[in-house]
Amino acid sequence: MEFTAKQIAELIQGTVEGNPEEPIRGVSKIEEGQPGTLSFLANPKYTHYIYTTGASAVIVNNSFVADQPVNATLIRVSDAYRAIAALLEMYEQSQPQKSGIEQPSYIHSSASVGEFAYVGAFAYIGENVIIGKNVKIYPQAYVGDNVTIGDHTTLYSGVKVYKQCRIGNNCIIHAGAVIGSDGFGFAPDESGQYKKIAQVGNVVIEDNVEIGANTTIDRATMGSTIVRKGAKLDNLIQVAHNVEIGEDCVFAAQAGIAGSTKIGNRCMFGGQVGLAGHITIADEVKLAAQSGIASSIKQQGAVYMGAPGYDVAQYNRSYVIFRKLPEIYKQLNALEKKVSQL
């Protein structure tokens, strides 16, 4: 397929600056732009590439002002990132979509699968499972007994959903993610050996949630571990039993949240953060990568860093001094010596 810059501009309500007939046959990143491709500039860190990119056309924000000559044809839009997102979405939608039931697969006779579903080979759908319409269950995925899955949801290859869990509409769960494994609950007996606490709850994932590859979400001891609508979890994240994750939260990879912790709406966590159990995090809290949060955060919109974490600006001020500690210690000792000689 080939488009002109003008045709693309029309798709995204943009205006062309340069050759409207510039032919476009693919997309590329601005720093690797090839002739015949379309690129975009949204992150200011990449601005300098626009003067050297080989891409034939570049989507830029209306606010972009060139301070050197630009070879590429520009397509100006109000939000370059959204515009490229819209184009990528159109491209993705134009790709062939999986459908039908591949064999061999295992669908229990008591299960119901909605219309237009894809069930890949070696997928397993247990007793009394209810699956909505237009759902994609990729090969080797496992859907345990009594699970329900809403409409338009995709489980990629090898996703494992334990019995009784509930997954909403329009969710995407990536390969290898595990939903509903037992919470980590043990009680020591008199001899110091640990006895398992049966985990009889489940996991509830609301609508429009995306769960990354190999992320694990444990079932509740009682009640439900909950991921609320619109939350996005990256890869290799650990969500322990009875955790609740608020709406539209965004957590980067390898974050870990210990048991029974409740997280507000629209929180953003960097990679590898850790949260203790039984704490509460207010709405819109941001945590810098690798932060360790040991107690509740009550202030909406707080930004924390460090382990144990606290206000990011304060943390950074301390860290600047930490780096100077050897010279500060010398300064102190020199001062002490001077005073002793007074």
H or E, element range at 245: strand 244-245
Residue numbers 294-323 binding its own copies by CB under 8 A: 294, 307-308, 310, 314, 317-323
Beta bridge partners of 77: 61
- Extract the tokens encoding 240: 């322990």
Residues 6+ away with beta carbon under 8 Å from 91: 27
> How big is the chain by its Cα radius of gyration, in Å?
26
Among 76, 152, 160, 166, binds its own copies (CB under 8 A): 160
Q: Is 240 in the site for its own copies (CB under 8 A)?
A: yes
Give the residue, chosen from 121, 133, 295, 299, that forms a contact with its own copies under the rule CB under 8 A: 121
| Amino acid at position 310, single letter | Y
Cβ proximity to its own copies: between 17 and 210 the closer is 210
Question: Which CB atom, from 21 or from 314, has the smaller least distance to its own copies?
Answer: 314
- Please identify every residue annotated as catalytic: 241
Task: Write the DSSP symbol of residue 43.
Answer: S
| 180-239: contacts with its own copies (CB under 8 A) | 181-182, 184, 186-187, 192-200, 208, 210, 212-214, 216, 218, 221-223, 230, 232, 234-236, 238
| Among candidate residues 311, 288, 314, the one with its CA nearest the CA of residue 299 | 311
Which lies closer to its own copies via its Cβ, residue 21 or residue 88?
Answer: 88
Within residues 265-294, the interface with its own copies by CB under 8 A covers 266, 271-272, 274, 276, 278, 289-290, 292, 294
Number of H helices, E strands in the chain: 4, 40
Whole-number minimum distance, CB 118 to its own copies, in Å? Answer: 12
Which residue, 27 or 130, is less far from its own copies as judged by CB?
27
- Least distance in angstroms from the C-beta of 67 to its own copies: 22
Shortest Cβ distance from residue 169 to its own copies (Å)?
Answer: 14
CA atoms 79, 84, 85, 90: torsion sign: positive
H-run or E-run covering 160: strand 160-161
Segment near its own copies (CB under 8 A), from 8-16, 61-69, 109-117, 120-128? 120-128
Using CB under 8 A as the criterion, what x/- string covers residues 51-70 for binding its own copies? --------------------
- Exposure b/e, 73-96, CB count within 10 A at least 16 = b: bbbbbeebeebbeebeeeeeeeee
